[in-house]
Amino acid sequence: MEAKAQARYMRISPLKVRKVSAAVQGKPVEAALSALKFMPQKAAKRLEKLIRSAVANADQKPGVDVDRLVVRVIRADDGPMLKRWGTKARGRGTRILKPTCHVTVVLAEPPAAE
């Protein structure tokens, strides 16, 4: 069984989210949450909240053992770019790009060892 949670239009660069997500992908949920708790990055707090949401989604499904869940996939896709104007020298203006991203977390139970 799989459980999924999605956060859309997060105001953080997808590259920053991918750096943090690489550290927890493939780990059990408890290990991933404890690792994210001690990371100083802004993306770590947001990923922790999203993984907790996916665990809550898994808890609603019958027959899913929440204690055995593993972080199977964390995907950070590009969202729309917010475009703003900033001032520069000599009265000029320049474009400021503020990135957003869509993050998807998929939790799954590991295959049964035979």
What is the residue-level pLDDT of the chain in tens, covering all 114 positions? Answer: 899 999 999 999 999 999 999 999 999 999 999 999 999 999 999 999 999 999 999 999 998 889 999 999 999 999 999 999 999 999 999 999 999 999 999 999 987 765
Domain interval for residue 92? 2-108
Looking at residue 89, what is its pLDDT? 95
Looking at residue 113, what is its pLDDT? 60
In terms of Cα–Cα distance, which of 20, 12, 13, 11 is closest to 105?
20
With respect to residue 65, please indicate whether it lies within any of the assigned structural domains. Answer: yes
With respect to residue 20, please indicate whether it lies within any of the assigned structural domains. Answer: yes
Helical pair 14-24 and 29-37, crossing angle rounded to 10 deg: 130
With respect to residue 59, please indicate whether it lies within any of the assigned structural domains. Answer: yes
How far, rounded to the nearest angstrom, does the alpha carbon of residue 83 sit from its chain's CA centroid?
A: 23
How many Å is the maximal CA-CA distance in the chain? Answer: 71
With respect to residue 54, please indicate whether it lies within any of the assigned structural domains. Answer: yes
With respect to residue 14, please indicate whether it lies within any of the assigned structural domains. Answer: yes
With respect to residue 114, please indicate whether it lies within any of the assigned structural domains. Answer: no
With respect to residue 113, please indicate whether it lies within any of the assigned structural domains. Answer: no
Strand-pairing partners, residue 96, are 84
Q: Looking at the 3D structure of the chain, how many domains does it have?
A: 1
With respect to residue 62, please indicate whether it lies within any of the assigned structural domains. Answer: yes
* Distance separating alpha carbons of residues 10 and 15, to the nearest angstrom: 12
For the chain, state the CA radius of gyration.
18
What's the CATH code of the domain at 99?
A: 3.90.470.10
Looking at residue 64, what is its pLDDT? 87
